[in-house]
Amino acid sequence: MTAAEHLSLDQVRAYVRGALHPSTLVATDDHLEACAACRAALARESDASFGAEAFGRALAAPEARPESPHATFDHLRGAVDGTLSSIDRQWVEAHVRLCAMCADELEDLERFVTVLPLRKPAAPVVEDENLDALWPPPVASHAVLSPSRPRLPRLDEGDEPPARYGETAPPTLPLWIKVAAGASLVAILQLWAC
Amino acid sequence: MAVDALQQEWDPRLKALIGDASPRASERLAALALRAIDPAVRHATTTQLAHLTAADRADVATMCRDRLTALLRAVQRGERTVPVPDLEDFARASADAMCRDYLRRTRPALAKLANRIRLIATRGVGIVGWTTPKGQPVLGLPAWTDQPPLEAPFPWHGRVKDWWGKGHAAVDGPALTPTVVRVLELAGAPVPSEAVAAVIFEVTGSADTGTRVDASPEGDEPELAVLDAGVGPDHLAIARRYLERAWKELLAMPPQMRASLLLSLRDHHGSALLPVFHCAGVTPLRLVADALEMKPDETAAIWAHLPWDDKAIGRRLGLTGLQVLNARTVARSRLLRHMALRDQR
């Protein structure tokens, strides 16, 4: 199709109705891009004001969703641990900007996680509707980390694990006490030698 | 595009309702509400809201019924974009979720305690959490995962102080973990996580101080000045500028969010609205394809099959239907807000 061969009225109408065959749709669209006369014909046939109105109404219409519009525990936990997929992270971030309830619960968990023993979360948080079914299994696995959300500090593999809650950590002396004790011992030995 | 990606997975009774405006369809809709929705709502409100007054329970039940019946009407009008494969399952899960959200709103301190306890169970500190086949989140010791959980009335019912004894209990901080362990040891079996939170709440004498305002994100979107359909060059120019602004905002969105909205957009007749942009001369098909991260040929091939349901969009984007729904909700809110902000400027 060239600019010289204008679209017929039937072709323009078929384009507006979405009735063109896929093989001709792209070529027709390319022609419209290049041909002002056909674009004018298209503007006459497709009333942009009706399209804009329908678009605005569709945006403003609420979703028919009895499902909870709120973040689940797994979303909140994933946000705290930095294990959400990017789409869920975007959603949670946008949702907590709108929803005081979920923002409040997320803030509470972010605060609470700082007093918990630093252990790796048991399982990555999840991508699908059966979020609850994947609530952490007893066996630990490595988490999938979110690329951009700041992570909470975690233990490196080589670090000594913290004591479980209720266990007493083995007593260790600060370095300065050890150094002072060593120096005192040397001084006593010198005095004794004199 | 594979044909199966476009097939919808609907409960056959709901599929028969789609687009049927006859009086018989209305009768079928009422019968479905009675058979599938009412029992689910009754079950959810009696199990989850047992501690509320009958009047409060009735209010929540009415809200659940109204929302689920609205779903049936939306299905009938072809507006529901996430397929519902089994109405009973869906009604049960939705009624449960609505009751949970009600409790989160009306008992915020208890809801936060329940979250903290569930977080503890992910930390490998001797407590694990899992979900029963009935979908109930429970807590227990690692050796208990095969055991059925306790059911109401729980052993501490009516005698919490005696049951707990003299041990220290806490709702927050490091002392919460041993408190949860003690509850489980005293119970001797898995316990629903909500019940663990409730008993700790009671043992510590905690109280919820106030109800949250309804924080539904659906409720606080700005009003969009919807264009009136009109004629004349001025009106067409205004409409075109409006669509150009919307397109610019759409391009600024993350790709999955944008695709979730664009591929599902439909007018009140159920016709796709994506072609509005290229028919109004706002953007050529090739750029629409770019926005959808598709090749132009691929976009042309799906053109006649739009709008897609959320399952099909999810397959395309590697997301679940619910993730698509969430992404679209955010995209809608964001677009409405940005368009309203531009209007103010």
Q: Minimal Cα–Cα distance from A15 to chain B, Å?
A: 8
* CA-based nearest residue to B152, from B92, B199, B112, B100: B199
Instruction: Please name the residues in contact with B328: beta carbons below 8 A apart, sequence gap of 6 or more.
Output: A63, B81, B257, B260, B261, B264, B310
Residues from chain A that touch B98, judged by Cβ atoms under 8 A, are: 66, 68
DSSP notation for A43-101: HHHS-HHHHHHHHHHHHHSPP---S--SPPHHHHHHHHHT---HHHHHHHHHHHHH-HH
Task: Using pLDDT thresholds of 50, 70 and 90, give the confidence band for residue B343.
Answer: low
Interface ipTM > 0.85: no
Closest residue to A25, CB basis, from B118, B276, B303:
B303
Percentage of the residues of chain B whose pLDDT score is greater than 70? 88
- pLDDT exceeds cutoff 90 at A152: no
The better pLDDT of the pair A165, A22 is held by A22
What does the pLDDT read at residue B175? Answer: 92
Task: Using pLDDT thresholds of 50, 70 and 90, give the confidence band for residue A55.
Answer: confident
Mean pLDDT of A37-52: 81
**Disruptive mutation site among B145, B235, B322, B334 for chain A (greatest number of A CBs within 10 Å):** B322
Dump pLDDT digits (tens) for A72-93.
899 999 999 999 988 888 888 8
Look-up of token digits 């929705």: B37
Q: Does A187 touch chain B (CB under 8 A)?
A: no
Instruction: Please name the residues in contact with B317: beta carbons below 8 A apart, sequence gap of 6 or more.
Output: A87, B256, B259, B260, B324
Lowest mean pLDDT, pick from A102-106, B3-7, B259-263: B3-7
Task: Using pLDDT thresholds of 50, 70 and 90, give the confidence band for residue B223.
Answer: very low
Q: Report how far apart, in Å, the C-alpha atoms of A53 and of each of A45, A95, B74, B140, B232 are.
A: 16, 27, 21, 55, 15
Task: Using pLDDT thresholds of 50, 70 and 90, give the confidence band for residue A190.
Answer: confident
- pLDDT exceeds cutoff 50 at B215: no
Greatest mean pLDDT among A123-127, B17-21, B179-183 lies in: B179-183
Lowest mean pLDDT, pick from A38-47, B136-145, B226-235: B226-235
pLDDT, averaged across chain B: 83
Closest residue to A54, CB basis, from B224, B276, B317:
B276
Mean pLDDT of B259-282: 85
Task: Using pLDDT thresholds of 50, 70 and 90, give the confidence band for residue A65.
Answer: low
Region for B205 from its dihedrals, namely left if φ exceeds 0, alpha if ψ lies in -120 to 50, beta otherwise: left
Mean pLDDT of B172-177: 92
Closest alpha carbon within chain A to B132 = A133
Mean pLDDT of B261-287: 86
Q: Minimal Cα–Cα distance from A51 to chain B, Å?
A: 5
Which ranges of chain B would DSSP assign to H, the alpha helix? 3-6, 12-15, 23-32, 38-48, 54-76, 87-106, 108-120, 160-164, 176-187, 193-203, 233-251, 255-262, 275-279, 285-291, 296-303, 310-317, 321-344
User: Under DSSP, is residue B252 helix (H, G, I), strand (E, B) or coil?
Assistant: coil
- pLDDT exceeds cutoff 60 at A180: yes
What does the pLDDT read at residue A77? Answer: 94
Lowest mean pLDDT, pick from A9-13, B35-39, B100-104, B206-210: B206-210
Is residue A8 within 8 A of residue B272, CB to CB? The reply is no
Dump pLDDT digits (tens) for B33-68.
899 899 999 988 887 787 778 888 898 899 899 888
